[in-house]
Amino acid sequence: MIGIRGGTFDPIHTAHLRATLEVVEALALSQVRLLPGSIPPHRPQPLASAEQRLDMVELAVQSNDLFIADDRELRREGASYTVDTLRSFREEFGEKEPLALIIGMDAFLDFTKWYEWETIISLAHLVVTSRPDYTAQPLQAWAEAIRSDNMQELHANAAGKLYFVQTTALSISATDIRHHQQEGRSIRYLVPDVVYDYIKQNQLYRIP
């Protein structure tokens, strides 16, 4: 089963990587593709360029063979829609390979607002990372109908299941990291050392 995690990654940080690793362990994933998005449909434009964000993801994952930086969204013209990305993965890996789309709880709560969200579920499993202290709300009927607590069900099916993974709560955000940079505060240990060095060398997120 292949994990897929998209994001602006402006920049990629320790919480991204730790949560992704915990999903790999929980679901015995063979690999995870980390995809910097090109033009987020519902978010402000990234401050770092597409090339810089890809560079940072490549640096962040270089020490883990299970993590692979994937640039397919950056190569696509126009807005980045998850459903198009998943169709691309299906073309590459075929109809039988289980795919797991990894998203956070905040994204899951807005999932039915996503473009072609029902098609997304037909193309991949939905794996949601949640904090141990998160108070679960009652699931909508569509979510309850496809929820599974059995990892083997995900491996046995190519798509269509909803699975929750509790991950370590790390209060780190890309927004805070950018603010730290703008205020001249250190971001060391909030990002991998190689990403820290890259941000410093390229003077990213500084106020001109």
Q: How far apart are CA 162 and CA 130, in angstroms?
A: 13
Q: What is the CATH number of domain 2-171?
A: 3.40.50.620
pLDDT given for residue 207 in this prediction = 66
Mean per-residue pLDDT, 121-140: 84
Positive or negative torsion for Cα 45, 104, 76, 202: positive
For the chain, the domains span 2-171
Averaged confidence pLDDT in the chain: 93
Contact in structure between 162 and 136 (CB atoms under 8 Å) = no
CB atoms within 10 A of CB 75: 10
Q: Which amino acid is at 70?
A: D
Sheet holding 99-104, edge to edge: 67-69, 31-36, 2-7, 99-104, 125-130, 162-166
Grade residue 76 by pLDDT with cuts at 50, 70 and 90. Answer: confident
- pLDDT tens digits along 166-186: 999 898 999 999 999 999 999
Q: Is it the case that residue 99 has pLDDT exceeding 70?
A: yes
Give tens-digit pLDDT for 7-25.
999 999 999 999 999 999 9
* Cα–Cα distance measured from residue 178 to residue 113, given in angstroms and rounded to the nearest whole number: 27
pLDDT digits (tens, 9 = 90+) for 29-42: 999 999 999 866 66
> Which positions ≥6 away from 132 have C-beta within 8 Å?
166, 168, 169
The total of other beta-carbon atoms located within 10 Å of residue 129's CB is 23
Separation of first and last alpha carbons in the chain: 44
**pLDDT over threshold 80, residue 159:** yes
Token couple for 187: 């971001």
